[in-house]
Structure 1
Amino acid sequence: MIQTPPAPTNRFRQAIRNKEFLITAEITPPKGGDFSHTITVAKPLKNRVHAVNITDGSRAVMRMSSLAACAILHQHGIEPICQFACRDRNKIALQADLMGAHALGIRNILALTGDPVKAGDHPDARPVFELESVRLLKLIDKLNQGFDSNDKILPDGNLDLFAGAAIDPQSPSWSGLKGRFEKKITAGAQFFQSQLVCDFDRLEKFMNYIAAGSDKPILAGIFLIKSAKNAQFLNKNVPGISIPQDIIDRLAQAQDPLREGMKIAAEQIQMAKQLCQGVHLMVIKREDLIPEILDMAGIAPVDSM
């Protein structure tokens, strides 16, 4: 007997409508079939974040599918944001998985182009990239209206997906950033999740000169930097990241670098709260610290999902 999936969760969408300060957290799915650890780290976040964002082959590293991981979280009453990257699937597969997400009660989607295959653990894999993030957003909008990519009516009903997109306020090309942001708005993006932010003057400029008037929430990416060595590694190996020297020095001089990194993250959350509508927390393999970081930042628990 087929079991009916849990009812769709819409806490994140409702929080946006209510103009709440949004909190999301990123979790990487397991590399294998055992999901127990992921559930263990996700459950304490249930009343601290509005949604848990599950990566889809981030950095082109093979892991459990974001769709499967989100379905399991949803079964445990944890609202997910399901990342969809265009790197590994053509538009047939993307549409199939988007319809599957809807059927499973998953509503929040983050539309991404995807990291290049050469950056990951299967550099000899064949990339697809039939679509990129803007065209994926347009595809989701069509499915929501009840049409497939060929403008044919979906005979078994339209979708109701809430799609967001990524943005990098620290992009060196201001005109390129503005053009890309506007294209994603036009394509149907309902929220934006930023890359790691360290330059809050740049974020303020982005909010005032590009995002102003869009009425779409921007979630600033806040990364837990665990040590000076961690910061230097990120600067060297992750494109687009530039952690300033004063933060590196502060971590290097700290007696407890991890604790200092938590303080920095909390301070950045407080700065982001003055500029934008939310934060997206990335604390790779230390999700257990998220509640304490939020406490340090003065962020109260969210309403139950």
Structure 2
Amino acid sequence: MLLQQALASGRTAITAEVTPPRGGDPSRTLAAARQLRGWVHAINVTDGSRAVMRMSSLAVCRLLQEEGLESVLQMACRDRNRIALQADLLGAHALGLRNLLCLTGDPVRAGDQPTARAVNELESVRLLRLVDQLNQGADPVSGSLPDGGTAFFAGAAADPQCPSWSGLRARVRRKRDAGARFLQTQMVTDADALRRFVEEIAAPLGLPVLAGVFLLKSARNAAFINRVVPGANIPQALIDRLAEARDPAAEGIRIAAEQVASCVAIAQGVHLMAIKAEERIPLILEQAGLRAEATQPEPMLSSPC
């Protein structure tokens, strides 16, 4: 898998995020993903982000795989008990999906169906342990899996700008011990915080870091993110740049490119988020002088089943 190879070799790794559709037609999401071919090593598909109804990450990842695009399957614990998580993991493996980002999931109250019932039987650390069990060929109930272990490449999320440094250090260590093999950060706008996180927490644990870079479209967009996204802390200086720009969209691309260049000098790679503007991601990477070093594989001609 391209992402795992890039991280294992020490090369700069690039991922980008796409949002599944709020409906049964994946054509727009797939069209956005196609524009990322050759620019990124893998495409990350969100799983019920912000507790809003979307097509399943597993389904979109499989469709990307059929397009010859490597994916990262997000799996959140909020909506599934352990039996459902186990079933989805085994199904994903059968469909040829290998990259996995294990998440607790945003709280239901953050979404547009606040009266829905959350499950939350597991959280990200316990999900990572479950994945590690399956990779070792262990049946979660007893004995061994009859057809051997799975081969997931599991990662976890982290927030370098978390106000509790000791809590962040302890949780990242638990995730590493549970089986995480890479970290993908939340949106990070403080290069010093990212450097400290990499040098003091991630690197000593042997965990490569993909630093999260978010495309800001306007000053209003940035202020909205600060208001509604937990942990977001976009500096006022960036908001002012966007407010004063003659072309806020172009200025947002320049800001993101600057952040990408800054991040890859500190972390092993970047994870780009450009909600409903994925077509701008190649422009960001081009301005940053960055592109995936390996090409995407050819589209699958037959099912791996």
| Residue matched to 1:164 | 155
- CA shift for structure 1 position 301: 4.3
In structure 2, which of residues 165, 183, 187 is the aligned counterpart of residue 192 of structure 1? 183
Percent of residue pairs identical: 58
| Residue matched to 2:227 | 236
| Residue matched to 2:82 | 91
Residues 110-155 of structure 1 deviation map (CA, whole Å, 9 limit, x = unaligned): 0000000111121111100000000000000000111132243112
| Residue matched to 1:284 | 275
| Residue matched to 2:255 | 264
| Residue matched to 2:146 | 155
1:252 and 2:243 equivalent?
Answer: yes
Contact 1:139/1:148 (<8 A) preserved:
no
TM-score by length of 2: 0.95
Deviates more, 1:146-155 or 1:35-44: 146-155
| Residue matched to 2:300 | none
| Residue matched to 1:27 | 18
| Residue matched to 1:181 | 172
What is the SS of the residue equivalent to 2:69? coil
Residues 33-69 of structure 1 deviation map (CA, whole Å, 9 limit, x = unaligned): 1111111111121100000000000000010000011
- The 2-side partners of 1:265 and 1:131 are apart by 34
- The 2-side partners of 1:139 and 1:49 are apart by 28
| Residue matched to 1:141 | 132
- The 1-side partners of 2:8 and 2:160 are apart by 23
In structure 1, which of residues 70, 77, 83 is the aligned counterpart of residue 61 of structure 2? 70
| Residue matched to 2:301 | none
In structure 2, which of residues 110, 121, 130 is the aligned counterpart of residue 119 of structure 1? 110
- CA shift for structure 1 position 212: 2.4
- The 1-side partners of 2:199 and 2:264 are apart by 14
1:45 and 2:36 equivalent?
Answer: yes
- The 2-side partners of 1:11 and 1:274 are apart by 21
| Residue matched to 1:6 | none
Which letter maps to 2:70?
E
Which letter maps to 1:82?
L
What is the SS of the residue equivalent to 1:32? coil
- The 2-side partners of 1:117 and 1:141 are apart by 27
What is the SS of the residue equivalent to 1:272? helix
Which letter maps to 1:29?
P
- The 2-side partners of 1:15 and 1:175 are apart by 30
Contact 1:167/1:193 (<8 A) preserved:
yes
Deviates more, 1:154-163 or 1:104-113: 154-163
1:109 and 2:138 equivalent?
Answer: no
- The 1-side partners of 2:256 and 2:114 are apart by 33
Which letter maps to 2:165?
W
Contact 2:108/2:116 (<8 A) preserved:
yes
| Residue matched to 2:303 | none
Which letter maps to 1:252?
A
TM-score by length of 1: 0.95
Which letter maps to 1:229?
R
What is the SS of the residue equivalent to 2:168? helix
Contact 1:219/1:279 (<8 A) preserved:
yes
What is the SS of the residue equivalent to 1:45? coil
Deviates more, 1:169-178 or 1:211-220: 211-220
- Structure 2: gaps spanning 5 or more residues: 297-305
- Structure 1: gaps spanning 5 or more residues: 1-9
- CA shift for structure 1 position 160: 0.7
- The 2-side partners of 1:151 and 1:272 are apart by 44
Residues 203-255 of structure 1 deviation map (CA, whole Å, 9 limit, x = unaligned): 11111211222222101100001111011101111110010110011111100
